[in-house]
Amino acid sequence: MIIETIISTVNSKGKVNFAPFGIKKNNNFIYISPYIPSRTLENLNLNKCAVINYTDDVRYFVDCLVGEKKFKKLKSFNIDGFYLQDCLSHEEVRVVSIKNDKIRPTFKCEIVGEYNHKKFLGFNRAKASILEACILASRLKILDEKKIRNELDYLNISVKKTGSYKELRSWKKLNKFIEDYFENKERK
C-alpha cells in the first residue's frame, strides 16, 4: 500500500523543504522513492534522515505543488529536522540503505521515533478528490491535457458537494495552477 504524506528534509544551509511523497511501509521500515531530480532526493542523500508527516489537510499538498511551502514547523526529537506543526502524526526516519537507480532510487529508512498529535476525524470525499487532483497536477508534463480536464470535471462534483470553504479555496488554487500551466504551454 502507498500512503500519501508530506516529507520534510533539510538542505546544506539548514533550510527545511516540505514535499508530497507516496511512501511504502513494512514493519519498522519506510521506503521513499524520489524521481531524479528533486530537493528531497538531494537532502536525503546529504543528511540520511527525514520526517514523514501524516495529515488529512489537503491544503498542504496543494500549497506544496503551487510552491507556497512556508509552513509552521517544530524541531524533531531524534534527528536533525523539523515536523509540520499542524500534522496529525509524524515519524522520524534514518536512511539505512539506498537502492540506486538512474530514474528513481529507493531509500530504505528505519523509523527512529513516532509521535501522535491530533485525532483523525474521518474520511471526506472532497479531500480525497483534491489529493487525486494533486497527483494530476504533479504530472502535467507527462499526462494528456484532455484526460486531465476530464478527470478534474469528475473530481469537481465531490469537491463541490462535500468540501468546506477550506477545500473549496484549495480547489480553486489548484485549478488555477493547472490552467496557468496550460495557458503558458499554448503561448510557447
Ligand X SMILES: Cc1cc2nc3c(=O)[nH]c(=O)nc-3n(C[C@H](O)[C@H](O)[C@H](O)COP(=O)(O)O)c2cc1C
Q: Site residues (CB under 6 A) for ligand X?
A: 4, 17, 19-22, 33-35, 38-40, 61, 131, 134-135, 138
Q: How far apart are CA 62 and CA 175, in angstroms?
A: 10
How far apart are CB 19 and ligand X at their closest, in Å? 3
- Length of the chain measured in residues: 188
C-beta closer to ligand X: residue 34 or 81: 34
C-beta closer to ligand X: residue 61 or 76: 61
Q: 165-187 and 59-66 are packed helices; what angle lies between their axes, rounded to 10 degrees?
A: 20
C-beta closer to ligand X: residue 111 or 131: 131
C-beta closer to ligand X: residue 17 or 76: 17
How far apart are CB 120 and ligand X at their closest, in Å? 17
How far apart are CB 36 and ligand X at their closest, in Å? 8
Q: How far apart are CA 39 and CA 118, in angstroms?
A: 28
Q: Which three cell numbers stand for residue 29?
A: 521500515
Residue pair 81/118 in contact (Cβ under 8 Å)? The answer is: no
What DSSP element (H or E) covers 26?
A: strand 16-26
Find the angle CA(128)-CA(132)-CA(137) to the nearest 5 degrees.
140
C-beta closer to ligand X: residue 35 or 154: 35
How far apart are CB 18 and ligand X at their closest, in Å? 7
Cα separation values, 180 from 1, 45, 66, 107, Å: 33, 33, 11, 34
How far apart are CB 45 and ligand X at their closest, in Å? 12
